[in-house]
Copies of this chain bind each other. A is one copy, B any other.
Amino acid sequence: MNLGIDLGGTSAKIALVGPGYKIIEQRFVVTAGFPSPSVLARQMSDACRELLRGKKAAHIGIGVAGDIDSARGIVRVSPNLGWKRVPLKRLMERFLHCRVSVENDAKAAAWGLYRTQVSPSVKNLLVLTLGTGVGGGIILNGSVYRGATGSAGEIGHMIINENGPLCNCGNRGCLETFVGAPHITRKVREDLERGQASSLQSLVRENPDQLSPYMLAVAANNGDAYAQSVWEGVGHALGVALGNFVYLFNPEMIYLTGGVSQANRLILTPLWQTLKTRTFKTPIGAVQIKTARGAAHIGVIGASLL
Contact = CB atoms under 8 A, between A and B. Distances in A.
A192 to B, nearest CB: 25
Interface SS of chain A: helix, strand, loop or mixed? loop
A146 B280 CA distance: 15
Contacts of A248: 136, 138, 152-155, 158, 245, 248-249
Interface in A243-269: 243-245, 247-252
Contacts of A158: 244, 247-248
A49 interface: no
A67 B170 CA distance: 37
A286 B153 CA distance: 15
A159 interface: yes
A294 interface: no
Interface string A172-192: 010000000000000000000
A171 interface: yes
A39 interface: no
B250 A151 contact: yes
Contact of A148 (B149, B151, B173, B250): B250
